[in-house]
Structure 1
Amino acid sequence: MTEQSALLLRKQLAELNKNPVEGFSAGLIDDDDIYKWEVVIIGPQDTLFEGGFFKAYLTFPYDYPLRPPKLKFITGIWHPNVAKNGDVCISILHEPGEDKFGYEKPEERWLPIHTVETIMISVISMLADPNSESPANVDAAKEWREDPNGEFKRKVACCVRKSQEMAFD
């Protein structure tokens, strides 16, 4: 299986390098390890995250695409669907099958047809439109629901500023 997943990941990386997708860039952390990627997500226009450069690591399991990768922000980001340690919590990255809590339909969860591109597009849309129903960061979700233009906006603006400074280190 390892051979196949490595081949698939190389193909997806080559495709992204040839035809970049707006909103993010992707590359390997270490050229010798196809299973660990570094992605930079550009804060989507007309959102609080606009202008930010958010670095994250995408780590693929050896049985990819049967199981989803993990996505973890390295750049600090204040968002209801990103845990304080940077782990991204969205349906598309959840193990396939039934949700034992009943929040998600199986088709909203991981499917082997997903690619790095579909994952990243989901993450970008998550930035633009947080889901505060099943938050990974309860404090951010509470601020987003109660006062999106107050404390939440201030914290996000701070993250965007820091991400811009880090982008040029």
Structure 2
Amino acid sequence: MSSGNALLLKRQLTELRKRPVDGFSAGLKDDDNLYEWEIMIIGPNDTLYEGGFLRAELVFPPEYPLLPPKMKFITPMWHPNVYADGNVCISILHAPGTDEYGYEDAGERWMPVHTVESILISVISLLSMDTPSTDSPANIDAAKQVRDDIKGYRKKVRQLVRQSAEEAYD
């Protein structure tokens, strides 16, 4: 792990601590490891996630910022863009280059100019969509429910959000 990568991560962390961004907080899981961060996303107002406390982690590869981090929700999630194991599937977190399946433009994928802040803002805007996109879903069951039973989908998300809020106060 080059010291340049660690320096960049340290700078982003310092910046987020000095100028917190509404909607999330970020910090290191362990003060001795700049490559693993814990994230708390506060459910955006006027969305299905309002009132939720969504815990996640970002794990940065040694090649960061040339390659994107992996983001995984620890809080149980029900969303077409979140795998059952919590891993987040959005274009900005996909390795640079051409999408072999043709779903994404290279410009939508990871670029070294992205920061922790831009990643989390992308995830928050994903969660803010009233009806999430079901194109190329990570969670096929959630996508199917969005298409076939939007009321049931919204009810399930709200239940998980309530659960996340209760666990935050335990």
Which TM-score applies when normalising by structure 1?
0.97
Identity in percent: 61
Number of aligned positions between the proteins: 168
Structure 1 range deviating more: 126-135 or 76-85: 126-135
Q: Deviations 1:87-113 (Å, cap 9, x if unpaired)?
A: 000000000000000000000000000
Structure 1 counterpart of 2:141, which letter? D
State the match for 2:70 in structure 1: 70
Q: Distance in 1 between matches of 2:156 and 2:55?
A: 17
- Residue 40 of structure 1: SS of its match in structure 2? strand
State the match for 1:24 in structure 2: 24
Structure 2 counterpart of 1:83, which letter? Y
Q: Deviations 1:68-101 (Å, cap 9, x if unpaired)?
A: 0000000001111000000000000000000000
Structure 2 counterpart of 1:26, which letter? A
**Alignment map for 1:10-159 (pairs within 5 Å):** 10-129=10-129, 130-148=132-150, 150-159=151-160
State the match for 1:3 in structure 2: 3
How far 1:2 moved relative to its partner? Answer: 1.8
Structure 1 counterpart of 2:12, which letter? Q
Alignment RMSD, CA only? 0.9
- Residue 35 of structure 1: SS of its match in structure 2? strand
Which TM-score applies when normalising by structure 2?
0.96
- The runs of 5 or more residues in structure 2 that have no matched partner are none
Q: Distance in 2 between matches of 1:27 and 1:119?
A: 15
Q: Distance in 2 between matches of 1:116 and 1:93?
A: 11
How far 1:131 moved relative to its partner? Answer: 2.2
How far 1:36 moved relative to its partner? Answer: 0.2
State the match for 1:168 in structure 2: 169
Structure 1 ranges of 4+ moved more than 6 A: none
How far 1:27 moved relative to its partner? Answer: 0.4
- The runs of 5 or more residues in structure 1 that have no matched partner are none
Q: Distance in 1 between matches of 2:63 and 2:35?
A: 10
- Residue 48 of structure 1: SS of its match in structure 2? coil
